[in-house]
A and B are shown apart, each in its own frame.
Chain A
Amino acid sequence: MSHTEPTSAIPHSQVLHFPKGGKPTLAPNEWQVFHWDQDEGGIPDLEHGAHKVLAPFHWWVKHHQERDVMSLAHAGKIGVWFATDDDILKHADIIQAGKALWPVVAAHFPIFRDGRSFSTAALLRDRFAWDGEIRAIGDVLIDQLLQGARVGFDSFHLRSDQNLEIALTQFDVITVTTQNSWRGKRTLLKA
């Protein structure tokens, strides 16, 4: 059973933003997630679309040196998303270079209970010192938000059936921590 991209429901037009040190808010989604497979060819026609594109990282690895891709990237229209099986540490050089180009990166949840993207976000923050937006995409549910926010995510495109009003209330459900995270040190060390 898969909850990824339910076909019957319309995706949320809004994204939940929860910047470090800020408050959770909703804002219109500007980024379209591009799911690329081998025979699909290039990226969608950005000239006529309303959205900027989050491209799969493995697509970026293959195409980022192409001229039209570079020019769109320089225009701030391309971000990348990491799949759970992308070994980001193996592509450290490409990620370091991409940091100057991508307005946003994302990490994907094929199913909510797959926690690999938690480590991806943590590594992006710790190892790559990425201080831009990291968005959670895919099977993103209300009850993962608190964990996601702590490991390094600061925006969430929730699954279409998730109630955004309830989602907004999740971040102060537990106000103390007993280990460090991207958001801050453990409560004991803050005192």
Chain B
Amino acid sequence: MYKYDHIDQTLVDQRVTQFKDQVERRLNGTLPEEEFRPLRLQNGLYHQRHAYMLRVAIPYGLFSAKQLRTLAMIADRYDRGYGHFTTRQNIQFNWIDLEDAPAILADLAKVEMHAIQTSGNCIRNITSDAFAGVAGDEYIDPRPICELLRQWSTLHPEFAHLPRKFKFAINGAQEDRTVLLCHDVGIELKKDAAGNLLADLYAGGGMGRTPILGSLIKQDLPWQYLPSYLTALLRVYNRFGRRDNLYKARIKILVKALGPAEFARQVEGEWAHIADGDDNFTQAEWDRVAQHFTKPAYQALTALTHDELLAHCAPQLNAQEQLAFSRWLERNVRKHQVPGYASVILSLKPHGTAAPGDATSAQMLAIADLADQYSFGELRVTHEQNLVLADVEQTQLLALWRAAKAQNLVLPNIGLLTDIIACPGGDFCSLANAKSLPIAKAIQERFDDLDYLNDLGEITLNISGCINSCGHHHVGNIGVLGVDKDGEEWYQITLGGEQGNDAAIGKVIGPSFYADEIPEVMTGIINTYVSQRHEDESFIATYRRLGVAPFKEAAYANAKKKTSLEKATIEGRAS
């Protein structure tokens, strides 16, 4: 992975000193909160319900065992012994004191990490495929471009106060694992027949109040031109994006208002003036960065099929273990580019015992050891808030499974209904209208049977505590959105969302539900799928074939059933 040079290190070190001074001015009263706010946000510091939350960047999802140990130390020393991995490849600490923030940032800088631009109206942490460099379906390793753009966007002066936040995602694989079309700018990398690296750019995607999928505005841009083209694009947005209304300030609103063709034309007009300037990346810059993303020292191994691997491990497993291990191989282990290797997803989605994406400091330390022992000391964080050991020898999978099992990280639910994406919600976040975590817990407890979950197959269920959509509910096959009605917490259900190559925004099925109706509502929706599906038909395919009607009917019938049952119970008690 990328290693800082003296420029990167100087930048993060000086940034810590700068923020330390800003915090001191805040604490001595010379810098008012209103004016400190954007400064702390651009250093990852939110003020939440109970305390400050610090969001630390894990650029394009890649980090090291050493860095994870520092994160564990921060969790223990400055927080309450855990951290929360987010959908945008960051980690959040929820119980931070402002006075400690500069010291934490200094600790992060020592291991080449930072919280720069993880919040605020600027270019945010750049996200990418968690399986970059190892995925079987990859045609371009996106990491050099990710790192080049991380550097280009870091402390970019012209775009330090954009109308609103600005998110990049970058993909180089056949299957999109980045939710590319839900980003302000999505960059799809490809190669032409001559082997030149090109980018297609999609602009104006986003979730939030007005979910929109991005539009293709530029095709076949040679990679060297990304800085000048993106400068032109961001300049048009910075000058003409709305600033009168917070909810209409994202680039998606500008692209929609102008139309993608006109927006592209304006960007092109601006770009014409700067395209050939020295903003563009040089081959030397590529070489400098790309040397860090070479392949690790893989052994020459023979690839094993699932059955061969099971047969190989069988003598060491009892019958019950064989079933569990086999399931884990199916659900939590992914194909690798290199024969004899596999990528392992550690599930941070235990059923009901921890919030989705949470890891304790003890787990972090154990995972760091696993990374060192089994995967060249490197880790990735996924959009679904799980962790990945990307380069594991197949013959080591059993040993890894046993070690990870001891840390409660091997639940074979990746891609299944209980692999829930959820924001921290109203338990922590002051923006939230409703809690997310108890809903996730209730659903995980209701659907706790692994046989049943496996039978249901792949279903994505995403929960956001408010319309800011940090839980990406719009692109869940089933989405749950917390809403506030007269001071009470209600939940709106959407169906039909999807991420990936067939990205789609889910549709609201109707009036919202009470929190305690949600498990019954889910049961109604899932039962409808089970009873109506054709053989091997996925949930989303069944939904697309049938439309919303039968699911909606079952959801409301079940919610009603629950309400009348309760009524009867209460009346029964009263009599």
* Chain A residues packing against B (C-beta within 8 Å): 1, 3, 87, 112-116, 118-120, 122-123, 126-127, 141, 143-144, 146-148, 150-151, 163, 166, 173-181, 185, 187-189
Contacts and interface: CB of A to CB of B under 8 A. Distances in A.
B123 to A, nearest CB: 11
Given A119-B239, A143-B39, A176 B14 contact: yes
The 5 closest A-B pairs by CB, nearest first: A115-B161, A150-B157, A147-B157, A178-B151, A174-B14
Given A116-B238, A180-B279, A188 B157 contact: no
Contacts of B278: 180, 185, 189
A118 B160 contact: yes
A122 B239 contact: no
Interface in B1-28: 7-8, 10-11, 14-15, 17-18, 21-22, 25
Given A113-B161, A115-B238, A177-B155, 18 more contacts: A113-B38, A113-B121, A115-B121, A116-B239, A127-B273, A143-B39, A144-B160, A144-B161, A147-B160, A150-B157, A173-B14, A173-B17, A174-B15, A176-B7, A179-B151, A179-B227, A188-B7, A188-B285
A1 B154 CA distance: 30
Contact of A114 (B34, B157, B159, B243): B243
B152 A115 contact: no
B30 interface: yes
Contacts of A148: 157
Contact of A151 (B15, B25, B158, B273): B158
A115 B39 CA distance: 14
A175 B14 contact: yes
Contact of A178 (B35, B152, B274): B152
Contacts of A163: 30
Contacts of A120: 239
17 contacts: A87-B239, A114-B161, A115-B161, A115-B162, A118-B158, A118-B238, A119-B235, A122-B235, A144-B160, A147-B158, A147-B160, A151-B157, A163-B30, A175-B10, A178-B7, A179-B156, A181-B157
Contacts of A118: 157-161, 238
Among A114, A173, A178, A180, chain B packs the most CB atoms within 10 A around the CB of A178
Given A115-B160, A119-B235, A175-B14, A143 B35 contact: yes
A107 to B, nearest CB: 12
B212 to A, nearest CB: 23
Nearest to A122: B158
B18 A174 contact: yes
A162 B370 CA distance: 52
Contacts, number: 97
A114 B38 CA distance: 11
B142 to A, nearest CB: 19
Contacts of A173: 14, 17-18, 21
Contacts of A178: 7-8, 11, 151-152, 154-155
A1 B243 CA distance: 15
Interface in B275-293: 277-279, 282, 285, 288
Contact of A146 (B21, B157, B158, B227): B157
Contacts of A116: 238-239, 243
A121 B160 CA distance: 14
Contact of A179 (B38, B279, B282, B288): B279
A78 B282 CA distance: 43
A178 B238 CA distance: 20
A87 B269 CA distance: 15
Contact of B159 (A115, A175, A176, A188): A115
A39 to B, nearest CB: 25
Contacts of B158: 115, 118-119, 122, 147, 151, 181
A34 to B, nearest CB: 24
Given A127-B273, A174-B18, A188-B285, A179 B152 contact: yes
B157 A176 contact: no
B107 to A, nearest CB: 20
A189 B284 CA distance: 10
A117 to B, nearest CB: 9
B34 A1 contact: yes
Nearest to B159: A115
A81 B506 CA distance: 47
A160 B151 CA distance: 35
Given A143-B39, A179-B279, A126 B15 contact: no
Contacts of B25: 166
Query: Which of B7, B14, B15, B157 has the most C-beta atoms of chain A within 10 angstroms of its own C-beta?
Result: B157
Interface string B142-168: 000000000111111111111000000
Contacts of A141: 35
Which one of A150, A176, A177 has the highest number of Cβ atoms from chain B below 10 Å of its Cβ? Answer: A176
Nearest to B152: A179
Nearest to A127: B273
Interface in B93-135: 121
B157 A112 contact: no
A179 B18 CA distance: 19
Listed residue (B35, B153, B285) with the most chain A CB atoms within 10 angstroms of its CB: B35
A114 B279 CA distance: 24
Contacts of B285: 188
A181 B273 CA distance: 15
Contacts of B152: 178-179
A19 B227 CA distance: 26
A117 B239 CA distance: 8
A147 B142 CA distance: 29
Contacts of B239: 87, 116, 119-120
